[in-house]
Chains A and B, each alone.
Chain A
Amino acid sequence: MTKTSIYLCLGALAAALAAAQSAQADPSPMEVRALLHKDFHAKGQATMSRVDQDDLQFLCTVTHNKPSAKRVKEMEADQHATIAYPADGKYMGDWTKGQKIAESGAGMTWSDKPGTPGGGGCYNCHQLSPKEESYGTVGPSLTAMGKKRGDGLEVQKYVYGKIYNSKASNLCSQMPRFGTSGSLTEEQIKDLTAYLLDPASPVNQ
């Protein structure tokens, strides 16, 4: 995902967008970006480069999260290529550690200490353990995932990849690309995979 590539052709795209719109044109993503650069400042680990869209963010924004099937196919392949599967071929870690990562919504904000491991914030959007009553509903319920899908190697690899880069299989998903963005480490993603699939995990009780 290069940020530069998209801005090279952005001028042409913005012009095309402007032509397609009436005299009361909506601001282009380029104009939004310029305003963000004027009106925001870097703080803590939140650098100004964060307001620059990569090609995926740009495409999902301008298409209201509904890109053409052709673009989806191309870009999902690009996203898939960012997934670094574990060199040791093991996808499952420790579900007890995974639970803490799933519960924590910390990480990547300007008030989080850089370098300290963040969370996945999974409960913000998903139901996981049936015992946890405070869960969000933005994403699907993942309760009993291991029970339903088993914990075979293919399922493990799928779950690991989904957490690493959700956009590889759902281009404009609202779920962060935890591995690709460097928000979670390989070990943390393994622990989360175990939390979802391990038969002993509360998710599957």
Chain B
Amino acid sequence: MRRVSSRALLAGAALGVAASLVHADDTKQEIQKYQRMTAESSPVELWEMEGADLWKQKRGPNNVSLERCDLGMGPGVLKGAYAHLPRYFKDTGRVQDLESRLVTCMTTLQGFSEQEATKRVFGNADKPSDMEYLAAYVAGRSRGVKMQVSTNDPKEKAAYEMGKALFFYRAGPWDFSCASCHGTEGKRIRMQELPVLSSPKGARGTYTTWPGYRVSVSQLKTMQWRLNDCFRQQRFPEPKYVSDATIALTMYMAVNANGATYRGPGTKR
């Protein structure tokens, strides 16, 4: 990790202390207080700054920056782009989420192979990944923008419907679907109240805060990571990075969150 590291880790450590202080308290009020506290001292901006540098840096075999990357609003337009993703892209013929589209730009503009572009997409506390920096930067440029994800294109509609079907598909040794943990209002897993992502209320509150900085691990996590770890806990095999299945699920949640103001990257426990 480059210059961000020490500051971010300090902030993370301070938040960790705060976390332990409220550990024993199980009242909703205390949890909310803690959430406010962590949001106020979140190091998310450091990730965004690092991402901005990466965005402008000339990289790859072609030695160009990502500044002409088209995230759906035209080449180089970042404002509001994340609030309109996933969406159908003519040039690839695919519905793509942010991370998938970043891979496209890294391959088509910068000349990386797909393998190189996705070599290390999930970082750790010592060394975040380039994808995490970039996702934080791009998502942050939609802060304050209303979620407006389209299902007008038949492929977008199909992705949404597939995402919905995936959400309720029960399988694996424990018979879990996404809805096993995210399907009933007002239920908790241990102390964690899990959002019902099939409802606008749950999706709006949650989708609009991802990617998110996780205080407990001092890392910024992307939506692709979130889905990956959900499937791990669902006792499924591993989803391939930026695969159609993961993008369909993201589409389902994003459309359910439509109308809410994007306020991420957020801060998580």
Contacts and interface: CB of A to CB of B under 8 A. Distances in A.
Interface of A: 24, 26-27, 29, 31-32, 35-36, 38-43, 46-48, 50-53, 56-57, 60-61, 64, 108-111, 123-125, 133-138, 167, 174, 176-177, 181-183
B189 A64 contact: no
Contact of A134 (B26, B173, B239): B26
Nearest to A58: B170
A40 B236 contact: yes
List the 10 closest A-B pairs by CB distance, nearest first. A39-B243, A176-B174, A39-B245, A43-B238, A181-B173, A27-B165, A46-B237, A57-B170, A40-B237, A50-B172
B190 interface: yes
B217 to A, nearest CB: 15
Interface in B81-117: none
B17 interface: no
Contact of B235 (A24, A60, A109): A109
A32 B169 contact: yes
A176 B245 CA distance: 24
Interface string B155-191: 0010001101110111111111100110010111111
Given A29-B169, A40-B240, A174-B180, A50 B188 contact: no
B187 A137 contact: yes
Contact of A46 (B165, B235, B244): B235
Contacts of A137: 186-188
A131 to B, nearest CB: 12
A109 B173 CA distance: 10
Contacts of A135: 188, 190
Contacts of A27: 161-162, 165
B232 interface: yes
Interface residues of B, number: 41
B233 interface: yes
A50 B235 contact: yes
Contacts of B172: 50-51
B230 to A, nearest CB: 11
B174 A125 contact: no
Contacts of B231: 40
Contact of B237 (A56, A110, A123): A110
A24 B186 CA distance: 32
A134 B248 CA distance: 33
A155 B166 CA distance: 38
Contacts of A53: 169-171
A48 B237 contact: yes
Interface string B41-64: 000000000000000000000000
A32 B165 contact: yes
A161 B234 CA distance: 23
15 contacts: A26-B165, A27-B165, A36-B166, A36-B171, A38-B244, A40-B237, A40-B238, A50-B171, A50-B173, A51-B172, A56-B175, A60-B170, A135-B190, A138-B187, A174-B175
